[in-house]
Amino acid sequence: MSSTASAQPAEKDAANLTIAVVGATGAVGIELLRSLEARGFGGASLRPLASARSAGQSLAFAGRMVTVEELTEDSFAGVDVALFSAGASISRHYREAVRAAGALMIDNSSAFRMDDDVPLVVPEVNGQVLANHGGVIANPNCVAAIMTVALAPLHRASPIRRLQAATYQSASGAGAAAMEELRLATRAALDGKAFEPKVLPHPYAFNLFSHNAAIEGEDGYNGEELKAMAETRRILSVPDLAIGITCVRVPVLRAHSIAMTVQFDRPMAAAEARALLAAAPGLRLVDDRAANHFPMPSEASGVDEVLVGRIRTDLGDPTGCSLALFVSGDQLLKGAALNAVQILEAIQSRAAG
């Protein structure tokens, strides 16, 4: 994409932008509208786009109703920014249409995350790479986005040598249909009725299971785990970082939680880590040992910040170089919609500054 086209959104203030939201009726799409409104883009001209079956629906945005339009090749004429959240195949298909219209594409799918010429961005972590965008910017996998907000301030103080993590991922990561299936399955279980899952492969109420992404290759890792590892390395700019991760789906509506054990280049005391995390952007320290109060998805849901706590020395590492910690972050917000809007904010801020 030409530099003129990619700079276009930065040349306008928020109220004069025309913003397309692709996948506007989905779980992330709805949160994109809310995040745009909450963060000062309510005066923008909004173009909500979705499939033909959703066209004609009305959505609330900034005190007015906007009509969903069918997504076509011609949908991006006059658009400054296109926020995509409709899956990798849709993003790949319409990339050239966005390019031809001269719009900036901020994509929430996996389509371009590992492309060398597409920045993969968590603004609090690696916002500086936005200087090199060529008209397409990738939003990370939800696990990678939430993890790296907490890892980055520690990594800056002492390079991370190894990361071991286990995730507790909510229904929202599988979309609105999975969230509704969790509601229905829970109601059926409480009523003592049988329930046959249709969206996810296993019973969801009062259960947990390995993330439903397909196992890829002979090493036994699934696609979600591989994405989280590769993208975390890229966001932190540590291509050889040793990472092991197990991703698990848990019966929580929204907000992912992650238990991490992190090995650093030097010993790091829990008090030092706590101070670094308390001062870092995008985080809220929740680490009350006396009350046994630590990050929980119920308190992270609907919250912009990632909650971080349970910070303690890993007793399994006699060198003192390892810490354990626990985070919870809203998958639909920092793991998706909010991060995309923060990318747009950062683009405009860089131009203004």
Active site residue ranges? 142, 256
CA atoms within 13 A on the CB side of 331: 27
What residues are paired with 222 via a beta bridge? 215
Phi, psi at 194, each rounded to 5°? -70, 150
What residues are paired with 287 via a beta bridge? none
What residues are paired with 104 via a beta bridge? 81
- One DSSP character per residue, 246-267 reads EEEE-S-SS-EEEEEEEEESS-
How many residues belong to the chain?
353
Identify the helix (H) or strand (E) that includes residue 329: strand 322-329
Q: What are the Cα distances from residue 314, in Å, to 93, 106, 270?
A: 46, 38, 10
Q: Say how far residue 245 (Cα) sits from the centre of its chain.
A: 17
Give all strands of the β-sheet with 18-22 in edge-to-edge order.
69-70, 45-50, 18-22, 81-84, 104-107, 136-138
CA distance 340 to 121: 9
What residues are paired with 61 via a beta bridge? 64
- One DSSP character per residue, 146-205 reads HHHHHHHHHHHHS-EEEEEEEEEE-GGGG-HHHHHHHHHHHHHHHTT-----SSSSS--T
